[in-house]
Amino acid sequence: MTPETVTTMMAEAIKITLIVAAPMLLLGLVVGLCISVFSAVTQIQEMTLTFVPKIVAVFLALLAALPWIIEKLVTYTTNLFASIPTLVR
């Protein structure tokens, strides 16, 4: 196994991780931004006002994206396991 192969495998793993995490992170970002604007407009400075809606939104995004996430991870793992014989040479 060459260093280029290891680098390629690591880059692919990082890419899959970012792709899989993106829906939850983006929705958390949007909800946090909306809550921050609401908090600034109403001048309510309550910590649970920002924390609880983001947790709920991220959880709902995870539930909605879970089949897609599982498909992506299974495809990546299957391709990784299929490439093992070529990596050993």
Predicted confidence at residue 17, as pLDDT, reads 96
Check if the beta carbon of residue 76 is closer than 8 Å to that of residue 18.
Answer: no
* Residue 11, in any domain of the structure: no
Q: Measured between alpha carbons, how far is 7 from 43 in angstroms, rounded to an integer?
A: 49
Q: Note whether 81 and 28 are within 8 A (CB).
A: no
Residue 4 lies in a domain: no
Q: How confident is the model at residue 3 (pLDDT cuts 50, 70, 90)?
A: confident
pTM of the model: 0.80
pLDDT of residue 10: 94
Separation in Å, CA 22 to CA 7, 58, 61, 81, 88: 22, 11, 10, 25, 33
Q: Do 27 and 57 touch, CB atoms closer than 8 A?
A: yes
Asked whether residue 71 is domain-assigned, the answer is yes
Q: Is residue 2 part of a domain?
A: no
* Model pLDDT for residues 12-57, shown as the tens digit of each residue: 999 999 999 999 999 999 999 999 899 889 888 887 788 889 999 9
